Chains A and B, each alone.
Chain A
């Protein structure tokens, strides 16, 4: 057992965990942040994606201890109060989700994709390619791709406004 201290969604937290505890279980089981999901045991599905220090990471491949001292953002931490993150709003407006299980991981990955392409124009082929680490069984991706492209525009506008 060891104590892991980190910042999650802007709040300093600490938890007593077994050394083998994965970040995803620290979040779900110890911090009750159940928005981050587990969809596989081989790091293939992306249901567990969170941001560590601003970068999208599969939280099922990271030991809780490895995340010590870092800044973790989960799906619960991206809206500003009642105001949804533009990516969240775009997923809803474009019907980019059905059962919602893959959705938190999708949204966290998608935000990272848009950030990494903030300089250039994001196109459909790029979005499809970059989503390869996230599996959705419900939507056929059609509307997810639409949502990401839509959000890319909204995020630019939001940034410009800031």
Chain B
């Protein structure tokens, strides 16, 4: 195919509206008669609500209504659900406490909504919120895992004794213990995986409109999966019936997982729009984002690795405490379990693995999926252990990895995953070459002669993308299927619309999805349009997260496309009086192979719709749909190597070089793929060096603005050197694997391994701020 097909770095179609300021994000939308909501949020981490007095606020200018948590309970609006059921090792289910959209009785984290003011303007709503008097009785709070599981700790939910939600295990405990008993060497490490805030640049927002005679709701929302939002809002929350609710997620300014979930504000906006009889808009500010967006990570782990006398790994044992915050968010339970522990084999042949995960309630914002969702935590554990093992055994870290790489595929790990394909040597070799690994000792010596500490850190990650298949995830507790749907609509004039259940919030689907059609039909991408993000337009979908858009979403489009092509070929054959098997598609034309007879796509399309001359019995029209349920996860993998210099005097770490060698299978648009990697690397490096949520002992969020929470800025990051090695994914016809999370999964360990190598001290936690590094050096 020509310049716009698969593999071409086509510039993005969607960019024009973004670079000219014509994007349409939720906050840009105004509806006639629209009112504005402002939430009243708890200043306490744990408290009983004694009373709420709204009488003064009701008299304030512009106020249309003040609604409280008790009213939402009285109206029988459902509690927020968790959509993935986990069973504890004793066979019992999750000990889940209720999470009402606004708290009627008890608040369990700072920022939890207790009431909402609806007013004519945003400022009026804010002013009136000042006049709402909430009387709290403070309760003792437990903002971190250790405090929450300590004997006698305050109870958050009566359902969860000791604040433990579940205690889950995977793997063979006995066999793993035996491997440790007979090990020649054992390496162990205590690891804190710091809590992060996703911080998509667009704050969450929602506009709800209720049409009374139709009993119909419309919700504009900043969502990564509008259909799932509609399903959950209707099936579980009792707000609207599914066919009476339209959810639109227009341009969305980044998600990184935090916009997968259904949040209280969307529920309240819908419910309130009916109560006040006017459209209701809520736009969060940045502090609200810090206080209420689902946070990421937050694990405490004890990890151990057993090796035999030849330095082959014989066992891995992990005990992890996961902080899920004050309530269980939509996918929270799956993140530290099936998305985390099932990747603990990394790229290595490890015969015995046993993991235990204890999830805990604390007085903090709920924790859920954030870029990588469990895989970064797993990769960090494995890659820190590998590095530590190499140092303990005094062998080269790259060599130790190579010695233990999986080389035969498919490979069944002891923790569920069956890796389909990969070439881990190829990516590590590529990264070592790119950074001149062999020349490092000389560079280190030179740096040291100049009084600088130089270190190199390797990280070989693997990820499981495109969570699947539905049957398997269902058996593991998932409440939804993880297929994707698509429809390809060829219009009578030959232009094409692709309706997809994937949702683009920066990933460039409007371009890459069109590239598939360009490839298949030989038409320019300008002739193709993506339709997404609106439940009234697209029949169904599962949204975008877990790097599933290409492997699952695009394959669904391909399946629909194959049906369209088959029918179009029949029509062309009929019109050209040829055999269907002789029709080939080239440059937008249907040709009879070996002749000069051909019919352009618009003529085929027109024939399909005029229907005057179709094969006997053929249904008119040229549009087809498909649902695609993958047979397995896909397994992108790669090697990252980071070279850092540390100033012993200040503890400041500076990048010398960062190289990435990834295997994503087939690349649809290499330019976009690399952009995805850059963004992921920035988040992984941000976690390693800068970002970390801080709660004080009383549960106040100390890092609640960009002034207190360090976001990576241009000056904090290097330019990255990327390369690709390729093994085609055998699990889908396109051979694609997914690339969105890779950088965030692999980068943190590379950075921390480099710094600990430089300072010769392994006791370093993320974020490795200059202060922490200085203390690690100087004791």
Q: Are B682 and A141 in contact (CB under 8 A)?
A: yes
Number of B interface residues at 8 Å Cβ cutoff, please give it.
58
Interface window among A51-59, A61-69, A88-96, A154-162: A88-96
Which residues on the A side are within 8 Å of B11 (C-beta)? 92-93, 95
Most buried by A among B21, B251, B674: B21
Residue of B17, B23, B201, B675 touching A135 (CB-CB under 8 A): B201
Q: Are B720 and A131 in contact (CB under 8 A)?
A: no
Which residues on the B side are within 8 Å of A129 (C-beta)? 714-715
CA distance A74 to B21 in the complex (A): 8
Residue of B nearest to A88 (CB): B19
Residue of A38, A137, A140 touching B720 (CB-CB under 8 A): A140
Residue of B17, B19, B201, B671 touching A107 (CB-CB under 8 A): B19
CA distance A135 to B679 in the complex (A): 12
Q: How far is the CB of B17 from chain A (nearest CB, A)?
A: 8
Given A98-B506, A99-B254, A132-B713, answer yes or no on A139-B16 (Cβ-Cβ < 8 Å).
Answer: no
Q: How far is the CB of B66 from chain A (nearest CB, A)?
A: 22
Q: Are B202 and A101 in contact (CB under 8 A)?
A: yes
Q: Are B678 and A140 in contact (CB under 8 A)?
A: yes
Residue of B21, B286, B715 touching A39 (CB-CB under 8 A): B286
Which residues on the A side are within 8 Å of B675 (C-beta)? 95, 98, 138-139, 142-143
Q: Does A33 contact B (CB under 8 A)?
A: yes
Q: Give the interface SS of chain B, mostly helix, strand, loop or mixed.
A: loop
Q: Are B713 and A135 in contact (CB under 8 A)?
A: yes
Which residues on the B side are within 8 Å of A44 (C-beta)? 705-707, 711
Which residues on the A side are within 8 Å of B286 (C-beta)? 39-42, 45
Q: How far is the CB of B678 from chain A (nearest CB, A)?
A: 4
Q: Are A75 and B21 in contact (CB under 8 A)?
A: yes
Most buried by A among B20, B24, B676: B20
Which residues on the B side are within 8 Å of A98 (C-beta)? 254, 506-508, 675-676, 679
List which B296-346 residues lie within 8 A (CB) of chain A: none
Residue of A nearest to B21 (CB): A35
CA distance A92 to B707 in the complex (A): 30
CA distance A140 to B256 in the complex (A): 13
Residue of A40, A75, A137, A141 touching B714 (CB-CB under 8 A): A141
Q: Are A131 and B21 in contact (CB under 8 A)?
A: no
Q: How far is the CB of A87 from chain B (nearest CB, A)?
A: 8
Q: How far is the CB of B755 from chain A (nearest CB, A)?
A: 19
Residue of B nearest to A105 (CB): B201
List which B714-759 residues lie within 8 A (CB) of chain A: 714-715, 717, 719-720, 743
Residue of B25, B256, B717 touching A137 (CB-CB under 8 A): B256
CA distance A95 to B672 in the complex (A): 7
Residue of A nearest to B19 (CB): A88
Q: How far is the CB of A48 from chain B (nearest CB, A)?
A: 11
Q: Does B681 contact A (CB under 8 A)?
A: yes
Q: Does A122 contact B (CB under 8 A)?
A: no
Which residues on the B side are within 8 Å of A116 (C-beta)? none
Q: Does B123 contact A (CB under 8 A)?
A: yes
Residue of B21, B200, B287 touching A76 (CB-CB under 8 A): B21
Q: How far is the CB of B281 from chain A (nearest CB, A)?
A: 11
CA distance A6 to B15 in the complex (A): 30
Given A92-B12, A104-B21, A140-B678, answer yes or no on A127-B123 (Cβ-Cβ < 8 Å).
Answer: no
Q: Does B494 contact A (CB under 8 A)?
A: no
Q: Are A139 and B679 in contact (CB under 8 A)?
A: yes
Given A42-B286, A127-B714, A138-B679, answer yes or no on A18-B201 (Cβ-Cβ < 8 Å).
Answer: no
Q: Does B253 contact A (CB under 8 A)?
A: yes
Residue of B199, B251, B678 touching A139 (CB-CB under 8 A): B678
CA distance A98 to B671 in the complex (A): 11
Residue of A nearest to B251 (CB): A100
Q: How far is the CB of A133 from chain B (nearest CB, A)?
A: 8
Residue of B nearest to A129 (CB): B715
Q: Does A71 contact B (CB under 8 A)?
A: no
Q: How far is the CB of A150 from chain B (nearest CB, A)?
A: 13
Most buried by B among A35, A102, A127: A35
Number of A interface residues at 8 Å Cβ cutoff, please give it.
53
CA distance A40 to B203 in the complex (A): 8
**Contact string, A115-157, partner B, CB cutoff 8 A, digits 1/0?**
0000000001001110110111111111111000000000000
Q: Are A99 and B252 in contact (CB under 8 A)?
A: yes
Q: Does B285 contact A (CB under 8 A)?
A: yes
Q: Does A84 contact B (CB under 8 A)?
A: yes
Q: Give the interface SS of chain A, mostly helix, strand, loop or mixed.
A: loop
CA distance A136 to B706 in the complex (A): 12
Q: Does A14 contact B (CB under 8 A)?
A: no
Residue of A nearest to B15 (CB): A92
Q: Are B16 and A92 in contact (CB under 8 A)?
A: yes
Q: Does A7 contact B (CB under 8 A)?
A: no
CA distance A11 to B725 in the complex (A): 53
List which B1-45 residues lie within 8 A (CB) of chain A: 11-12, 14-25, 27-28
**Contact string, B491-521, partner A, CB cutoff 8 A, digits 1/0?**
0000000000000011110000000000000
Given A99-B253, A142-B678, answer yes or no on A40-B18 (Cβ-Cβ < 8 Å).
Answer: no
Residue of B27, B506, B705 touching A40 (CB-CB under 8 A): B705
Which residues on the A side are within 8 Å of B705 (C-beta)? 40-42, 44
Q: How far is the CB of A66 from chain B (nearest CB, A)?
A: 18
Q: Are B19 and A99 in contact (CB under 8 A)?
A: no
CA distance A47 to B680 in the complex (A): 20
CA distance A143 to B671 in the complex (A): 10
Given A99-B254, A135-B706, answer yes or no on A38-B27 (Cβ-Cβ < 8 Å).
Answer: yes
Q: How far is the CB of B419 from chain A (nearest CB, A)?
A: 28
Q: How far is the CB of A109 from chain B (nearest CB, A)?
A: 10
CA distance A39 to B705 in the complex (A): 11
List which B83-126 residues lie within 8 A (CB) of chain A: 123
Which residues on the A side are within 8 Å of B23 (C-beta)? 35, 100-101
Q: Are A135 and B711 in contact (CB under 8 A)?
A: yes
CA distance A84 to B18 in the complex (A): 12
Q: Does A114 contact B (CB under 8 A)?
A: no
Q: Are B199 and A137 in contact (CB under 8 A)?
A: yes
List which A1-56 residues lie within 8 A (CB) of chain B: 18, 20, 28, 33-42, 44-45, 47
Residue of B201, B287, B711 touching A41 (CB-CB under 8 A): B287
Q: How far is the CB of B748 from chain A (nearest CB, A)?
A: 14
Given A45-B706, A75-B20, answer yes or no on A131-B715 (Cβ-Cβ < 8 Å).
Answer: yes
Q: Are B720 and A142 in contact (CB under 8 A)?
A: yes
Which residues on the B side are within 8 Å of A84 (C-beta)? 19-20
Q: How far is the CB of B46 from chain A (nearest CB, A)?
A: 26
Q: How far is the CB of A36 from chain B (nearest CB, A)?
A: 7
CA distance A91 to B715 in the complex (A): 19
Q: Are A131 and B200 in contact (CB under 8 A)?
A: no
CA distance A40 to B705 in the complex (A): 8
Q: Are A101 and B253 in contact (CB under 8 A)?
A: yes
Q: Are B201 and A137 in contact (CB under 8 A)?
A: yes
CA distance A124 to B17 in the complex (A): 27
Q: Does A72 contact B (CB under 8 A)?
A: no
Which residues on the B side are within 8 Å of A138 (C-beta)? 201, 254, 506, 675, 679
Residue of A nearest to B715 (CB): A128
Can you give 21 A-B contacts (C-beta < 8 A)? A39-B286, A40-B705, A41-B287, A44-B706, A75-B19, A84-B19, A84-B20, A88-B19, A99-B18, A100-B23, A104-B21, A132-B713, A134-B714, A136-B201, A136-B714, A137-B198, A137-B200, A137-B256, A140-B678, A140-B712, A143-B678
7 A-B pairs with least C-beta separation: A35-B21, A100-B18, A101-B253, A99-B506, A140-B682, A140-B678, A98-B506
What 18 new A-B contacts, CB under 8 Å, besides A97-B18, A101-B253, A142-B675?
A20-B123, A34-B24, A35-B21, A40-B705, A75-B19, A98-B507, A100-B17, A101-B200, A101-B202, A103-B18, A107-B19, A131-B714, A131-B715, A135-B711, A137-B198, A137-B679, A138-B254, A139-B678
